[in-house]
Amino acid sequence: MIVYNEDARTLTLFTPHTCYQMKVDGEGRLLHTWYGRRPAAADMCPDFYEARAPHQDPGCWPDLLPLEYAAPGVGDNRIPACVPEYADGTQAADLRFAGYAVYPGKYALPGLPAFRASEQAQSLRVTLRDAGGLSVELWYAVYDDCDVITRAAVLTNAGERPLTLRQAASLCLDFPGVPLDFITMDGVWAGERTPARAPLRPGEQTIGSTKGIPGHGHSPAAILCAPDATETHGECWAAAFVYSGSFELSAERCEAGARLVCGIHPYHFAWTLEPGASFAAPETALVYSDAGLGEMSRRFHRAIRAHLLPPAWADAARPRPVLINSWEAFYFDFDEARLLELARAARSAGIDLFVLDDGWFAGREDDTTSLGDWVADRRKLPDGVPGLCERLNAMGMEFGIWVEPEAVSPNSALYRAHPDWALRIPGRDAFEIRHQYTLDFSRPEVVDGIWEQLDGLLSSCPIRYLKWDMNRSLATVYSAALPAARQGEVYHRYTLGVYELQRRLTEAYPDLLLENCAGGGARFDCGMLYYSPQIWCSDNTDACARTNIQYGTSLIYPYETMGAHFSTVPNHCTGHVTSRQARMALALSGTFGFELDLTKYSEEQLAQLRPDIEWYRAHGAMLRGGELYRLLLPDEKGTGAAWCIVAPDAGEAAVFCVGSALAGRGERCPCLVLRGLDENAVYEDEDGARWTGFLLQTLGLPLPGAFGQMPARRWYLRRVEPEAAR
């Protein structure tokens, strides 16, 4: 619900549990006055700014005002949301309110992913104008079903001369002067999205990426919370950027309070707007919770499931295939006979889908050659991809394949034919990373050329799954298709090109299961989830590492979006040896697949995998659609954690506990206290043991003592009718 109060000149956005308010002051500036808990009665919603600053001097410095969308050069010296540069060199804008409108449904951002429309959604457009000629439309959408508010900005040159945007953020959010903690999800390759929490100190704290992708270092999302906020208690504000390119997310603590700004990274960004032209800044999604980090996450998960994931895969009841990926089994060393041997072993275990990873295309014996030539190597696949697909289908398995569409090897037919398709600064030597260049996806003809190759591949046989990889950052960024004055547009146009190709793929092949990957988890963001319902979470499949990686990822993203596979020990990435049960618990919580050489398994060992696969099939809908409760957070070494996934009606639940919580600690009978259940119900596990929901949520679930290398245990609980309870 969106309400305008004419007397107070306030615009208030309501979700079932939250309230977001803006106010037009006497000078025509748009102030941000509140984002937090919703008053019990919407018609009694106060003017939060008047209540908080009843004697504010009308002539006070803009530095002290909570501005809804800030620009530089007119007295506000905090982080700006936008920086226009006019034709005379001026970099300033005094944005004043020029009107508003409310619309049913959801606004659209052409060429950009965004949370999808719903019957309950409403949109608000607020127009701000600067006398120099910049017009800004702030767009908001309210989702009543999941307590999410989205924001975007469209900047238009309403003047008579060209102007250049040096910065164009979608989010500027000011907070009052109260202590706050800043939580980001940071990491490295093989250790992505590890939470980092610290008090918000004076000055600016910034995360971001200039790599052309979000990168392994930082997720394009952040949380501000009360210092005492926990999983179950305290206020939290979270923002997730719906974008897959270079980004900057900054928090600033200053005299007036705190400010959070999120948008495209200003490095190498300079967008020319001719008179009448517009630029759409990517969307940011916002969630507020006064019930701790856990409820904040669940609200994000509901919104991503209902309004962001591709509609064809958003239904939790739609089965996801259990897959085997060939990479850790063979790397580049395979032929069709070895692949079919692996497929037969996988089929014996009950696996549905065989994924052929890197090394299948012409001349690809290692990572130094052939990227861009998406034609089968006939030495490995005598009858090409269709022949392998036909043989897999004959044994009852579906087929998937790996590609890296954004890259080209210097030693490839594509590069020899189109060397100008690669990003390269004129007059300088080409710069290789991983023995490859990046294709210039800012150019439509390059996108068209790669689309023709992928369309030919996907139409050649029934390919059910496509793994899209991207293994390097952008470098030597210069497009031969743009003049020198517009090279600052290349990074963003590149990202738009990626979106365009993924749009074509998903529209032409609506039943294709697309999984994005970027050297592991370097492009795990809401922009990618608009096209693919799952993203490879990390190249590190070690259970110890995955407890931290998947915990941090779950702060914003649902578990079922995380590509997670059961792999061998010692782990290929870390060398760790962990229990089979722990590796299975982490994989079952995600998309669930296998990443190992099953040809080395005996028939007895393959048979031991079938109960886990059958368990996933039986409970997959609940795992994909349930509410996540993080019960025990990972310790510093990542060797212990517990979580449960509860059906929305609390009728069933899956409980996972790994590592130190199960290990002997001198306690006679340790227990795990659950959450999210119906305390008035009786629950039964798979062994027939029963407890009331009240007991499970107060005294807890008894844990068996366990020893070994990261022990683990899982339970499936279902609600039983009262008359069935003993």
pLDDT digits (tens, 9 = 90+) for 167-198: 999 999 999 989 999 999 999 999 999 999 99
104 burial level (CB within 10 Å; 0-12, 13-18, 19+): exposed
In Å, how far are 2, 46, 56, 66, 208 from 52, measured between CA atoms? 22, 10, 9, 11, 33
pLDDT digits (tens, 9 = 90+) for 143-156: 988 999 999 999 99
Q: Give 663's pLDDT tier (boundaries 50, 70, 90).
A: low
User: By C-alpha distance, which of 501, 517, 615 is closest to 561?
Assistant: 517
Residue 712 belongs to a domain with what CATH number? 2.60.40.1180
CA distance 280 to 495: 13
Least confident of 6-10, 385-389, 562-566: 6-10
How high is the pLDDT of residue 639? 65
Q: What does the mean pLDDT of the chain come to? A: 94
How high is the pLDDT of residue 62? 84
How high is the pLDDT of residue 672? 93
CA distance 624 to 618: 12
CA distance 245 to 523: 8
Q: Give 725's pLDDT tier (boundaries 50, 70, 90).
A: very low
Of 287, 307, 327, the domain-final residue: 307
In this structure, are 345 and 296 located in the same domain?
Answer: no
Token duo for residue 355: 């994924």
Range 306-328 average pLDDT: 96
Of 625, 648, 681, the domain-final residue: 625
In this structure, are 43 and 190 located in the same domain?
Answer: yes
Range 481-506 average pLDDT: 97
In this structure, are 473 and 358 located in the same domain?
Answer: yes
**In the chain, what percentage of residues exceed pLDDT 70?**
96
CA distance 105 to 676: 31
Q: Which residues contact 55 (CB under 8 A, 6 or more apart)?
A: none
Is a pLDDT exceeding 80 seen at residue 620? yes
In this structure, are 318 and 279 located in the same domain?
Answer: no
In this structure, are 250 and 359 located in the same domain?
Answer: no
CA distance 414 to 373: 6
Token duo for residue 288: 């507020």
The amino acid sitting at 653 is A
The amino acid sitting at 307 is H
Helix (H, G, I), strand (E, B) or coil at 528: helix
Residue 420 belongs to a domain with what CATH number? 3.20.20.70
Q: Are strands 534-536 and 513-516 parallel, antiparallel or unpaired?
A: parallel
Is a pLDDT exceeding 60 seen at residue 712? yes
User: Residue 266, Cβ neighbours under 10 Å: how many?
Assistant: 19
Which residue, chain included where needed, has tokens 């669940």? 298
Cα dihedral 392/397/402/403 (nearest 10): 70
* Backbone angles phi and psi of 639, in degrees to 5: -100, 5
Range 60-78 average pLDDT: 91
**In the chain, what percentage of residues exceed pLDDT 90?**
88
Is a pLDDT exceeding 60 seen at residue 622? yes
The amino acid sitting at 401 is I
Beta bridge partners of 196: 184
DSSP 202: B
Range 447-463 average pLDDT: 97
Is a pLDDT exceeding 90 seen at residue 581? yes
How high is the pLDDT of residue 667? 52
Of 558, 590, 625, the domain-final residue: 625
Token duo for residue 443: 């150019």
Which residue, chain included where needed, has tokens 């999808």? 116
Q: What is the DSSP string of 325-393?
A: ESHHHHTT---HHHHHHHHHHHHHHT--EEEE-SS-BTT-SSTTS-TT--SB-TTT-TTHHHHHHHHHH
Residue 298 belongs to a domain with what CATH number? 2.70.98.60
Token duo for residue 3: 């309400």
* Host domain of residue 543: 313-625
pLDDT digits (tens, 9 = 90+) for 84-116: 999 999 999 999 999 999 999 999 999 999 999
User: By C-alpha distance, which of 574, 524, 518 is closest to 544?
Assistant: 574
Least confident of 266-280, 345-359, 387-401, 425-439: 425-439
Task: Give the number of domains in the chain.
Answer: 3
In this structure, are 699 and 598 located in the same domain?
Answer: no
Is a pLDDT exceeding 70 seen at residue 666? no
Token duo for residue 105: 């449904």
Do residues 160 and 17 touch, judged by C-beta distance below 8 A?
A: no
Cα dihedral 449/453/454/457 (nearest 10): 170
Do residues 23 and 12 touch, judged by C-beta distance below 8 A?
A: no
How high is the pLDDT of residue 726? 40
How high is the pLDDT of residue 37? 92
In this structure, are 636 and 600 located in the same domain?
Answer: no
CA distance 23 to 26: 10
In this structure, are 25 and 146 located in the same domain?
Answer: yes
In this structure, are 465 and 601 located in the same domain?
Answer: yes
In this structure, are 527 and 434 located in the same domain?
Answer: yes
Q: Give 704's pLDDT tier (boundaries 50, 70, 90).
A: confident
Range 541-566 average pLDDT: 96
In this structure, are 641 and 602 located in the same domain?
Answer: no
Note the pTM of the prediction, 2 decimals: 0.95
Range 394-399 average pLDDT: 97
Is a pLDDT exceeding 60 seen at residue 627? yes
Range 567-589 average pLDDT: 94
Phi-psi region of 313 (alpha: psi -120 to 50; beta: other; left: phi over 0): alpha
CA distance 78 to 76: 6
Active site residues: 469, 539
In this structure, are 510 and 644 located in the same domain?
Answer: no
How high is the pLDDT of residue 119? 76
269 burial level (CB within 10 Å; 0-12, 13-18, 19+): buried
